[in-house]
């Protein structure tokens, strides 16, 4: 998880959250200075026939940044300096930090990965603080700067493999990140919305000099990415303490914005022939915002980003299920006798569970307890909506549009296109 350990400020006054708030949310750029090529920012004129901007729920989600706004753009913050291996003269020697120490870097054996490397002759990274630890990697806050310069410093995050055997997951994630960034310009030009995935800037080799958990004379490729502020898990937990009994745990406008972000992510993955395989609340992050602004402005600044592509795979060629999280796994993937494989439909089910937790504040199947074997049998039944507590049902019954969308994800198992079409009619 890429998060800071600090309290999440309250976004809203719950008693003021009515349907008018839905119309006031505006997407705002967050950190970068580049805009997509071949398209003027704010120009969506050729898409007016596709987007129902009069929708009381979605008009804010389709609002394109103006000329005064910024896009998330994959080349920042390493722009304007050309950072990649194929753009800087560099010998592919295993001795990467000078001749005095022979450090063998982990081989990439892939031209695209080689071109994704940020080299120490141009860039320097300083680890700042540990943000978290997953099954495959540590996550640290770090400062990315131009070597020898103190003026051009960016706050980023970096995933460092726990050991040599976990490097393959970092490289898998880097490959998927490259595919996504190659598609990013197309997305901006055709959809006029912000990209739903976190920006990854490149691979950077780290050795024992920078991180003492690495063995001497070894250097591992680590993934440098945009630093986010909160995970959705932390955000929902904090907001749940302040929500009224019949209100969604995150502000209703934010719930619809999260819904659109997940639909966009599913659409991109399907277009590229990919499945994420590990969609869950821990893998959705939230951008930082200015808590001193009015409530409506705070809400408009919040952007959600899907992270963690270490389990992401191409649909074609997949031979087994990657690592997944049980409570967010589609029921059909637990029928081991049929050797099932993840599909866009199983990703969609996981997205529905994320939205369910954001609405109710409860983990999926929490009413069933946490015994692993019993939970496994409950999930296989495919009746997650029947395991909601009375308090959870109170929230959904008070928000019928939210309830219907959740049913489309979790009961009807409708395709993304059908759910998107329904939401535009609200």
205, 226, 247 — which closes off a domain?
Answer: 226
Whether residue 114 sits in one domain with residue 24:
no
Residue burial 268-282, b: 16+ Cβ < 10 Å; e: rest: bbbebebbbbbbbbb
In order, the DSSP letters of 141-177 are EEEEEETT-SS-EEEEEEEEESSGGGHHHHHHHHHHH
**Quick one: pLDDT at residue 370?**
77
Q: Domain count of the chain?
A: 2
Is the separation of the CB atoms in 386 and 396 below 8 Å? no
In a domain, 35, yes or no: yes
Higher confidence at residue 28 or residue 410?
410
Q: Are residues 221 and 255 in the same domain?
A: no
Please report where in the chains the tokens 């250097």 appear, as a residue.
Answer: 219
List, for residues 296-335, the tens digit of each pLDDT value. 777 888 899 999 999 999 999 888 888 889 999 999 999 9
Q: For residue 225, what is the enclosing H or E element?
A: strand 218-226
* Residue 236 sits in the same domain as residue 220: no
User: In this predicted structure, what is the pLDDT of residue 242?
Assistant: 77
Range ranked top by mean pLDDT from 10-19, 189-198, 207-216, 348-357: 348-357
Quote the percentage of the chain above a pLDDT of 70. Answer: 75
Q: Is the predicted pLDDT of residue 173 greater than 80, yes or no?
A: yes
| 210 and 246 inside one domain | no
Domain assignment of residue 49, yes or no: yes
User: How high does pLDDT run on average in the chain?
Assistant: 81
Domain termination residue (choose one: 179, 209, 226): 226
Do 401 and 298 belong together in one domain? yes
| Same domain flag for 66 and 114 | no
DSSP one-letter code for 118: B
Judgement on whether residues 284 and 389 belong to the same structural domain of the protein: yes
Note whether 166 and 244 are same-domain residues.
no
Residue 218 lies in a domain: yes
Annotated binding-site members? 159
Within a domain: residue 6? no
Which residues have CB under 8 Å from 253's CB, separation 6+? 17, 21, 22, 24, 25, 60, 299
Per the domain annotation, does 4 fall within a domain? Answer: no
121 belongs to a structural domain: yes
- Label each residue of 73-96 as H, E or C: CCCCCCCCCCCEHHHCCCCCCCCC
Q: Domain of 157?
A: 85-188+197-226
Binding residue positions for ATP: 159
5 occurs within a structural domain: no
Length of the chain as a residue count: 426
136 and 68 within one domain: no
pLDDT band of 180, cuts 50, 70, 90: very high
The H or E element that residue 255 is part of is helix 252-271
The predicted model scores a pTM of 0.78
The DSSP result for 405-419, as a single string, is HHHHHHTS---HHHH
Whether residue 263 is found in the same domain as residue 212: no
Tokens matching residue 328: 């967010």
306 in the same domain as 157: no
Task: Quick: pLDDT tens for 55-106.
Answer: 444 444 444 444 333 334 444 444 433 344 444 433 343 444 444 458 899 9
Q: Give the CATH number for residue 27.
A: 1.10.510.10
| CATH code for the domain of 177 | 3.30.200.20
Tell which phi-psi region holds residue 369, choosing left (phi > 0), alpha (psi between -120 and 50) or beta.
Answer: left
d(CA 103, CA 97): 7
Residues 255 and 159 in one domain: no
């Amino acid at each position: 998880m890429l998060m800071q350990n600090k309290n999440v400020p309250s976004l809203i006054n719950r008693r003021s959250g009515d349907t008018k708030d839905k119309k006031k949310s505006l997407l705002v750029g967050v950190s970068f200075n580049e805009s997509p090529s071949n398209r003027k920012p704010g120009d969506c004129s050729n898409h007016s026939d596709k987007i129902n901007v009069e929708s009381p729920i979605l008009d804010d989600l389709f609002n394109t940044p103006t000329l005064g706004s910024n896009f998330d753009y994959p080349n920042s913050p390493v722009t304007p300096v050309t950072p990649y291996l194929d753009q800087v003269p560099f010998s592919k020697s295993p001795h990467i930090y000078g001749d005095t120490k022979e450090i063998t870097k982990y081989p990439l054996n892939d031209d695209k990965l080689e071109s994704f490397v940020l080299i120490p002759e141009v860039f320097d990274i300083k680890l700042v603080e540990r943000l978290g630890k997953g099954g495959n990697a540590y996550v640290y806050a770090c400062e990315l700067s131009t070597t020898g310069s103190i003026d051009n410093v960016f706050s980023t995050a970096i995933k460092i493999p726990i050991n040599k055997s976990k490097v393959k997951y970092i490289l898998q994630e880097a490959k998927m990140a490259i595919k996504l960034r190659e598609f990013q310009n197309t997305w901006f030009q055709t959809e006029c919305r912000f990209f739903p995935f976190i920006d990854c800037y490149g691979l950077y080799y780290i050795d024992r000099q920078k991180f003492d958990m690495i063995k001497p004379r070894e250097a591992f490729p680590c993934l440098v990415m945009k630093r986010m502020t909160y995970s959705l898990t932390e955000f929902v937990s904090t907001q749940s303490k302040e929500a009224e009994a019949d209100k969604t745990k995150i502000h209703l406008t934010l719930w619809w914005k999260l819904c659109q972000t997940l639909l966009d992510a599913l659409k991109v993955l399907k277009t590229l022939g990919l499945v994420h395989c590990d969609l869950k609340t821990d893998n959705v992050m939230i951008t930082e915002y200015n808590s001193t602004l009015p409530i409506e402005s705070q809400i408009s600044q919040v952007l959600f980003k899907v992270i963690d592509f270490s389990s992401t795979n191409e649909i074609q060629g997949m031979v087994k299920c990657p690592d997944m999280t049980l409570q967010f796994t589609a029921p059909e993937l637990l029928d081991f006798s049929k050797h099932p494989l993840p599909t866009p439909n199983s990703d969609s089910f996981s997205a529905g569970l994320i939205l369910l937790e954001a609405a109710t504040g409860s983990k999926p199947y929490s009413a069933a307890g946490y015994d692993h074997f019993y939970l496994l049998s409950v999930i296989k039944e495919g009746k997650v909506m029947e395991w909601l507590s009375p308090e959870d049902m109170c929230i959904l019954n008070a928000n019928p549009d939210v309830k219907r969308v959740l049913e489309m994800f979790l009961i009807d198992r409708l395709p993304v296109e059908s759910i998107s079409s329904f939401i535009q009619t609200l």
